[in-house]
Amino acid sequence: MVDTGTPSKVKYTINDFELGKIIGEGAYGQVRLAKLKATGDTVAIKSVNREQITKLGKERHIFREKDLLNEMNHPFIIKLISTCIVRFLFFNSLLG
C-alpha cells in the first residue's frame, strides 16, 4: 500500500487513474476498481451522480460519508486518499 498522506492534501483527478470494472452499484452511483497510473496501486473509486443527489437533498449524507472516511484510521476500514468534484459526479478514491 502506498502512503499518500492525508486525503485533504492529495489532489488527484480522474485522469490519474486507469478505470477498471464496476464492483458495486447503489442508489446514487457506482464503485469501480482502478489503478493509480503513477504507482500501479489498486484503488476503488466511488462515483455518484451529483445532479441526482442535489435533487434528492442528499448532499449532507455524501459529505458526512467523506468526512467519516477521512477521519478513520483502522486496518479493516478503507482509507480515503482523495476526493474531487466535477460537473455531475463526485469521485472518492479509496485505498483498502
31-52 tens-digit pLDDT: 999 998 998 988 888 888 888 8
Q: What is the pLDDT of residue 8?
A: 46
d(Cα 94, Cα 2) in Å, to the nearest integer? 12
Task: Output the domain CATH number for residue 21.
Answer: 3.30.200.20
Q: What is the pLDDT of residue 94?
A: 58
pTM higher than the cut 0.75: no
Instruction: Residue 30: give the domain boundaries.
Output: 14-95
Per the structure, how many domains does the chain have? 1
39 lies in a domain? yes
**For the chain, what percentages of helix, strand and coil (3-state, to nearest 5) are there?**
25, 40, 35
Whether residue 8 is contained in a domain is answered as no
Q: What is the DSSP letter of 75?
A: T
Q: What is the pLDDT of residues 56-90, one digit of tens each?
A: 998 898 889 888 888 888 888 888 888 877 655 55
Closest alpha carbon to 53 in 37, 39, 34, 66: 66
